[in-house]
Amino acid sequence: MADVTFPPNSPATQWPIVWVAFGAGIVAATHIGKLPPALPQIGTELEAGLIMSGWIASMISTMGFAIGLIAGAIADRIGLRRVLIFGLMLLVAGSLLGTFAHSSTIMLLARFIEGLGFTATTITGGAIIARATADNDRKWALGVWAAYMPIGFASMMMFAALILDKFGWRVLWAISLVISLVWIVVVIRATAEWQRSQTKAISRDSIFGNVKRSLARGGGVLVALCFALYATQHISMMNWLPTYMLEVYGASTLFAATVPALVLVFNAVGNYLAAWAMGRGWPIWLLLALGAGGMAATEIGIFFGALPEGLRLVLAFGFGIAGGLIPASALASAPVYAPTPALIGTMSGLMVMGSNTGQLFGPPALAAAREAAGSWDGTVWLLLSLAIAGIIMAVWSRPMENRAATH
C-alpha cells in the first residue's frame, strides 16, 4: 500500500487545535439548529408547501447520507485542514444565498450548499482532533467532540427563538453567516503551524481504494450502524416530541418546544460521560451497548401510559443522557478502526454517514409507525426494535475492537 503515515503524536496534546476544531463543529451545528424555529416563517414568506419544507429541513442530512464516506476519503487525500476551511466557506456561501433567497427553490439550493459545508466540516473536525491528541487523550477528546451537535443545535435554537419574532429569519441567516466567517479566520490563523507538521499525514492511494480498505474493517461498519440506529431514534424523538406533548398532554407551544432543547442539553451530558469513561479505559462497544440499552429502557417509560407526566419528563432527559453515550463512542472509534492514521478522515466520514442515514429516515419512519399504530404510544415497538438492534451491533463489534486495539 502507498499510504504515507505521519510521525507519532508528541507526548503533549495540542489543545488549541482541539478546541478550534471543536468550535468549527459547533458553528456547523448552528446551521442545523437555526432552521426548525424559522421554518414556519420561511414556509410562509417563500410559499414553500409542506413537502418542500420537508426537503429544506432534511437537505443537510441528505448530503451527509449521500457523500459522507467519499468526503472523508477526499479529506484524507487532499488534507484535513484544507477541507475544513472549504467546508466553513461553503457554510458562509449557503447562508449568504439563503439570506437573499426569494423562492423555496433558491432556499433548497442554499441548504444543499450548507449540507456540503456541514459534512466537510464535521468529518474533518473529528479527524483533526484525532491527529492533534496524544494517545492518552484521544478518546476523551473525541468523546467531548461529539457534543458539538447538541451544543450548536440547542444554542442556536434558543437564540433563534429570541430574535425571530422581532427581526425575522433573514437576520438570523446573516448572523449565522458572520459567525462562520469569523471562525474561518480563527481556523486559518490557529492551524497554520500545525498544518506544516502534517504534510506527510496524507494518503497517497486512490480515493475509492481508501474507501474499500476502510469498509473492509467490519468493526467500523458495525459501529456506524449503531450510530445510524441511535440517530434514527434520537432525531425522531426530537422532531415529534413537541407534537406528542401537544396531542397527549395539551402542553403549551413554548413548553413543547423547550423540552427537546433540554433533551439536547442532557445529550451533551451523555457525550461528556462517555468521554470520561473512555478516558478511563472503558471499551467503545460497552458504551454503545449501554447507550442503546438506556434508550430502550427510557422509551418504554416515556410511552407507558400508566406513568405520571413528571416521571415521563424525567425519563425524556434520561433518554438524552443514554443516547449521548453513542455518538461520543462512535466518533471516538474512527482512529481505532482506521486501517492507517492517514485514513482517519475516511473512517470519520463513515460515522457521519451513519448518523445522517438515521437523521434522514428516522422522522418519516416514526410518523409511519404512528399512523399504523393509531397512537404515539404504539410507536414504542419501532423504537425498541431499533434500540435492541443497536445492542446486538455493539456486542457483535466487541472482538473486532479488541483486534483493532492490539494493532
Give the model confidence (pLDDT) of 59-98 as tens digits.
888 888 888 888 888 888 888 999 999 999 999 999 999 9
Which pLDDT belongs to residue 407? 63
Q: Quick one: 83 exposed, middle or buried, by C-beta within 10 A (0-12, 13-18, 19+)?
A: buried
Question: pLDDT tens digits, residue range 111-153?
Answer: 999 999 999 999 999 989 988 998 889 889 998 998 999 899 8
Is 100 strand, coil or helix? coil
Contacts 24+ apart (CB under 8 A), 5-8: 5/200, 5/201, 5/340, 5/341, 5/342, 6/131, 6/198, 6/200, 6/201, 6/341, 6/342, 7/197, 7/200
Q: With cut-offs at 50, 70 and 90, classify the pLDDT of residue 201.
A: low
Which pLDDT belongs to residue 113? 96
Question: pLDDT tens digits, residue range 385-395?
Answer: 999 999 999 99
- Give the whole-angstrom CA distance, residue 85 versus residue 101: 24
pLDDT of 1 strictly over 70:
no
CA 136 to chain centre: 24
Which pLDDT belongs to residue 350? 92
Which pLDDT belongs to residue 4? 36
Question: pLDDT tens digits, residue range 17-54?
Answer: 999 999 999 999 999 888 888 888 888 899 887 678 77
pLDDT of 315 strictly over 70:
yes
Which pLDDT belongs to residue 215? 81
Which pLDDT belongs to residue 236? 80
Predicted TM-score (pTM) of the model is 0.83
pLDDT of 372 strictly over 80:
yes
**Total residues belonging to the chain:** 407
Mean pLDDT computed over 344-349: 88
For a pLDDT cut of 90, what percent of the chain falls above it? 45
Question: pLDDT tens digits, residue range 291-302?
Answer: 999 999 999 988
Architecture per CATH, domain 15-406, reads as Up-down Bundle (1.20)
Question: pLDDT tens digits, residue range 252-290?
Answer: 656 766 787 788 889 999 999 999 999 899 999 999 999
